[in-house]
């Protein structure tokens, strides 16, 4: 066997000897066959791996296979992944909430209710004794929010409401109330209507409203069971509610459930009114509800707008009041401006206006009005002249008439020009023929 020179691994300097090369190859395959096989298989693996990496679909598949486990693992160990994901999720969440709030509300409604109640329950302890109060549910309505059409209506068989007229009167009032309340941009979430010994409790959901007509005083805990009931309805009938097209048949099963619910909440001991008074009561109740509903709309009506504008222009015409801004929304009023301490109090003006009962918030900065009456009034209070002295203003000159001490006059000549609106002082020693006022 030939000696292998130490340069065989490098490129031979001269033309390679063919025989030598052959021999070398044979030798190499003899010596390194195992390693070669390993290298070949590694190369294959590497190619496969590269292909896999370069194939996006495959990569998605691979990652998704382990993602959920990885997330769980990260969460339970150091939470790096979740903290990395949080800003992304939060941003996405707020985008969805902004762009499709209705969808979000719908999705969150069944979850939020219980969560909020839990939180409130932990803050307050509900009055447990409330549950012993006497009340009964006489009617329940599930109302489609969009059309105001009742999807389900159940009446307790003992209730006076079996009179069809009364039912529809009551219902019509609730329906119009629901529609008006909800289309007011600044709906305040009002959900109780008190009507003598009847009250209507209204719970609002994203697609439906649950209204219950209650006789007597129901405990606050009852509101919670109403809320829960409505959440369950939204859960069970989410698709049906969304697809509602006038056909309330899909909601029929609800009738049985709600009838049970009414029965569980009906107390026999309630004294019932005589038939006549009941009828009268309900008619007037319906009228009152309709009226309340109407008033909701009226708040925005032009009648009010006119009164408000009248009051504003009255203020603007009042010396010593400068209105720089005003706003009005859902029964609340706000005025900004400048107010001379000597001016008529805007609240007094309000009491005399047709808005008298309105809640107005004022934000007035003090200032000194340059109305001559004010200047004179201010001069009088600052200079304190003898009572018989007459002060008037001519242009920017303060005219003093009557008997005064020379000392006072000296002081006055010095200080009067410091009062806003007065530049000089003129003194007339004797009162002229005209009578002094004040």
Partner 1 sequence: MIQKKVCMLGAFAVGKSSLVRRFVDNIYSDVYTTTIGVRIDKKIVNIGDETLSLVLWDVHGEDSYQNVLSAYIRGMAGYLLVVDPTRPHSVDNATNLKNLIDTEIGPKPFVVVMNKCDLKEQWLITQDDLPDWANDAELIIEASSKNDTDVNLVFQTLAESLLQNRQAQ
Binding mask 208-247 for partner 1 (x = CB under 8 A): -------------------------------------xxx
Q: Nearest-5° angle of CA 71, CA 72, CA 75?
A: 85
Q: Tell me: does residue 293 bind partner 1 (CB under 8 A).
A: yes
Nearest Cα to Cα of residue 215 among 201, 229, 204, 230: 201
Which residue in 58, 183, 424, 432 binds partner 1 (CB under 8 A)?
Answer: 183
By the rule CB under 8 A, 300 interacts with partner 1: yes
- The whole-angstrom separation of Cα 67 and Cα 386 is 94
Three-state SS at 6:
coil
Among 83, 168, 284, 324, binds partner 1 (CB under 8 A): 168
List the structure tokens of 235.
């859960």
Nearer residue to partner 1 within complex by CB, 258 or 289: 289
- Contacting residue, 21, 49, 53, 291, with partner 1 by CB under 8 A: 291
Closer to partner 1 by CB, 297 or 417: give it.
297
Binding test (CB under 8 A) with partner 1, winner from 138, 144, 203, 240: 144
End-to-end Cα separation, the chain, in angstroms: 142
**Would you say 241 or 390 has its CB closer to partner 1?**
241
How many residues would you count in the chain? 438
**Interaction between residue 179 and partner 1 (CB under 8 A):** yes
Q: Which is nearer to partner 1, 183 or 277 (CB)?
A: 183
147 counts as binding partner 1 under rule CB under 8 A? yes
The angle at the Cα of 148, spanning 144 to 153, to the nearest 5 degrees, equals 65
Q: What is the token pair recorded at 409?
A: 């006059």
Q: How far apart are CA 137 and CA 139, in angstroms?
A: 6
**To the nearest whole angstrom, how small is the minimum distance from the Cβ of residue 189 to partner 1?**
17
According to CB under 8 A, which one of 248, 314, 354, 392 is a site residue for partner 1?
A: 248
**Is residue 171 a contact residue for partner 1 (CB under 8 A)?**
yes
Q: Is 146 in the site for partner 1 (CB under 8 A)?
A: yes
User: Using CB under 8 A, which of 297, 329, 341, 386 touches partner 1?
Assistant: 297
Q: Is position 367 an interface residue for partner 1 (rule: CB under 8 A)?
A: no
Question: What 8-state DSSP symbol labels residue 250?
Answer: G
**3-class DSSP state for residue 149?**
coil
Q: Which is nearer to partner 1, 250 or 319 (CB)?
A: 250
Q: Does 176 bind partner 1 (CB under 8 A)?
A: yes
Name the phi and psi angles at 361, rounded to 5: -105, 135
The smaller minimum CB distance to partner 1, of residues 303 and 403, is found at 303
Distances (CA, A) of 322 to 309, 310, 337, 359, 396: 15, 15, 5, 20, 22
Q: How far is CA 259 from CA 112, 137, 154, 165, 262, in A?
A: 26, 10, 6, 21, 5
Closer residue to partner 1 (CB): 93 or 187: 187
Going by C-alpha positions, the residue among 326, 398, 338 that lies closest to residue 369 is: 338
What residues line the site for partner 1 (CB under 8 A)?
144, 146-149, 168, 171-172, 175-176, 179-180, 182-184, 245-249, 290-291, 293-294, 297-298, 300-303
């Amino acid at each position: 066997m030939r000696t292998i020179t130490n340069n065989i691994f490098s490129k031979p300097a001269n033309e390679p000897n063919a025989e030598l090369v052959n021999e070398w190859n044979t030798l190499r395959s003899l010596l390194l066959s195992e390693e070669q096989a390993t290298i070949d298989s590694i190369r294959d693996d590497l190619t496969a791996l590269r292909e896999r990496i370069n194939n996006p679909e495959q990569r998605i598949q691979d990652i998704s296979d382990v993602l959920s486990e990885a997330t769980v693992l990260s969460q339970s160990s150091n939470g790096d992944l979740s903290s990395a994901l949080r800003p992304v999720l939060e941003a996405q969440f707020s985008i969805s909430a902004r762009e499709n709030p209705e969808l979000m509300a719908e999705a969150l409604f069944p979850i939020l209710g219980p969560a909020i109640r839990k939180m409130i329950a932990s803050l307050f302890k509900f009055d447990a004794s409330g549950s012993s109060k006497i009340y009964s549910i006489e009617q329940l309505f599930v109302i489609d929010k969009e059309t105001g059409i009742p999807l389900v209506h159940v009446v307790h068989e003992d209730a006076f409401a079996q009179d069809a007229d009364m039912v529809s009167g009551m219902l019509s009032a609730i329906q119009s109330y629901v529609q008006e309340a909800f289309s007011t941009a600044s709906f305040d979430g009002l959900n109780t209507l008190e009507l003598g010994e009847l009250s209507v409790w209204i719970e609002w959901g994203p697609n439906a409203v649950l209204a219950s007509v209650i006789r007597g005083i129901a405990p606050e805990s009852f509101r919670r069971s109403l809320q829960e009931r409505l959440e369950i309805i939204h859960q069970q009938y989410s698709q049906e509610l969304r697809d509602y097209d006038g056909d309330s048949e899909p909601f029929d099963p609800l009738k049985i459930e709600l009838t049970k619910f009414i029965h569980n909440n009906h107390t026999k001991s309630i004294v019932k009114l005589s038939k006549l008074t009941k009828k009268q009561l309900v008619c007037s109740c319906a009228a009152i509800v309709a009226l309340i509903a109407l008033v909701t709309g009226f708040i925005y009506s032009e009648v009010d707008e006119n009164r408000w504008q009248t009051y504003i222009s009255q203020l603007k015409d009042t010396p010593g009041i400068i209105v720089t801004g005003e706003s009005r929304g859902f029964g609340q009023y706000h005025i900004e401006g400048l107010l001379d301490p000597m001016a008529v109090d805007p609240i007094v003006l309000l009491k005399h206006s047709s808005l008298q009962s309105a809640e107005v918030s004022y934000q007035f900065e003090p200032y000194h009005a340059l109305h001559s009456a004010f200047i004179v009034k201010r001069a009088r209070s600052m200079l304190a002249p003898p009572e018989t002295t007459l002060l008037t203003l001519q242009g920017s000159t303060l005219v003093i008439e009557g008997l005064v001490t020379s000392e006072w006059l000296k002081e006055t000549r010095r200080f009067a020009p410091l009062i806003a609106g007065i530049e000089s002082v003129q003194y007339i020693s004797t009162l002229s023929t005209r009578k002094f006022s004040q």
